[in-house]
A and B are shown apart, each in its own frame.
Chain A
Amino acid sequence: MKKDFPIFTNYPELVYLDSAATSQKPQAVISAVSEFYTTYNANIHRGIYDLSQHATGLFEEVRKKVADFIGAKRSSEIIFTSKTTESLNLVAFGWAKKHLKKGDIVVLSEMEHHANIVPWQQLKKEIGIELYYLSVNKEYNLDYKKIASLPLAMTKKIKLLSFTHVSNVLGTINSLEEIISYFKKLNPEMKICIDAAQSVPHIQIDVSKIDCDFLAFSAHKMLGPTGVGVLYAREELLENMDPLVFGGGMIRKVTKENVTWADAPDKFEGGTQNLEGVIGLGAAIEYLQKIGFETIRRHEQELIEYVIEKFAQNKDIVLFGHRDISSRLGIFSFAIEKVHPHDIAEVLNRNHIAVRAGHHCAQPLMDVLNVAGTVRASFYFYNTKSDIDRLCEGIEEVKKVFRK
């Protein structure tokens, strides 16, 4: 698989274990971006000329492709943003700010990325909503049933449950259907928002089965270019949602005094979009579908099993995450006692092993784990068992440097 990714040809020593931060890009995606610029480049939705109309067609085809990819009924339910963070901000400030009032509760979890915490804290400052965090238990799963112990007066105030499908630190896959149906039984009116940034690259998503109202993800973690995010929003919610960006392309009519918005999704896409990025996302989806999620998952599970086996042999490694390969992805946060994550990453880097060290934009979770940070090795289908061997050799070197 690595042969499809030019970076591994150009940097053959590289052991890339930071796909949870961003994935590498296959030639197919790079070529699609390049081909757009060399062959079809024109702004969309504006020109009468052929080139612009063709570019518009390509752009809108990707919207349809994304809708099919995640099981959305209509293309208009797919909003292009610039990143997952912006998608979640759009839920907070485009939807929640309009529909929630002081005292309403938004439920989050302790395993959220800052992108699904900070917008809600900000909204709390602005309109006085309350935040409730589902806790993470000792098995690194969400202890979501605790919510039932809250007084009824409180559960009735829950207007939104916004949580991550897969933890970017622990690798835990949250069982969406179970959790969502549990919450909907408590209060059928509440809306559900899923941060799917970590799951969409690895698992087939079907929003028609998940029963969620919003789902956010990015292109760059699933082989596509940076600078493109997606927000899926259920059609009935789109009309009563405000845009975040005001300007060209998102209007129906503008006078000196007044403006009426265009229909969704245009209403949410003010200004010129990241055209080549969206085209690249289309190519990424095609590439992923050609390999197929079953093949991806099978290969990744083999890697996960191998990592768990190798880590278990090494007494100095403390793994923050469970070992059940059916409900985790290849995201491994670990520590080596008395060696700081930065120092581990530094020594690994000398052997061309790229891992992340730090809090992974999940400081509340670090507090729960009672660590300042961890080392994170995250895998994608282009990784191999030999990458894992190299990681383990690197860890031995870390121990040598720090005389463990």
Chain B
Amino acid sequence: MDPLYREIILEHSQNPQNFGVLNNADIDVTEINPLCGDSIRLTLAIEKGRVKKILFFGVGCAISQASASLFTEEMKNKSLAEIKKMSEQDVLDLLGVTLTPARMACALLVYKTGKKIRLPF
């Protein structure tokens, strides 16, 4: 098995979960990785302070796409306060692989996008 492109990463990058853009989203944030130009946009529908629906949209490498897919899965039904508490390590743990510093930025792009959510929104 490939040490970096594990099954879960290939699966999530080639068939990402929660991919798309929500119409009438309550929250709509985008972040760019200036190194490569990749971007991720998160759109969320919020109900009673919890994530009812979340979609991500963007072009990116396998690492950033898989990370966004896994991260958005994780965010579902969480409260915004819980999401704000998530750390970089939590995101890296979802991927479960060791990354070089250059690829760390790919994995954390969705996290940085999430950080742009302002509370109260």
Contacts and interface: CB of A to CB of B under 8 A. Distances in A.
Q: How big is chain A's contact interface, by range?
A: 10 to 19
A349 to B, nearest CB: 9
B36 A372 contact: yes
A357 interface: yes
B37 A342 contact: no
Interface stretch (B16-24, B45-53, B59-67, B76-84): B59-67
A403 B59 CA distance: 20
A342 B106 contact: yes
Nearest to B35: A358
Q: How big is chain B's contact interface, by range?
A: 10 to 19
A224 interface: no
Contact of A340 (B2, B4, B10, B61): B61
Q: Is the interface of B mostly helix, strand, loop or mixed?
A: loop
A179 interface: no
B37 A372 contact: yes
Nearest to A349: B100
Contacts of B60: 340, 372
A363 B36 contact: no
Interface in A363-377: 363, 366, 372-373
Contacts of B61: 340-343, 346
Contacts of B106: 342
A226 to B, nearest CB: 19
A335 to B, nearest CB: 12
A401 B4 CA distance: 10
B5 A401 contact: yes
A359 B10 contact: no
Given A339-B62, A342-B36, A343-B61, 5 more contacts: A340-B60, A342-B106, A346-B61, A358-B37, A373-B37
Interface of A: 338-343, 346, 357-359, 363, 366, 372-373, 401-403
30 contacts: A338-B14, A339-B62, A340-B59, A340-B61, A340-B62, A340-B65, A341-B61, A342-B36, A342-B61, A342-B62, A342-B103, A342-B106, A343-B61, A343-B62, A343-B63, A358-B35, A359-B36, A359-B37, A363-B37, A366-B37, A372-B36, A372-B38, A372-B60, A373-B37, A373-B38, A401-B2, A402-B5, A402-B10, A402-B62, A403-B10
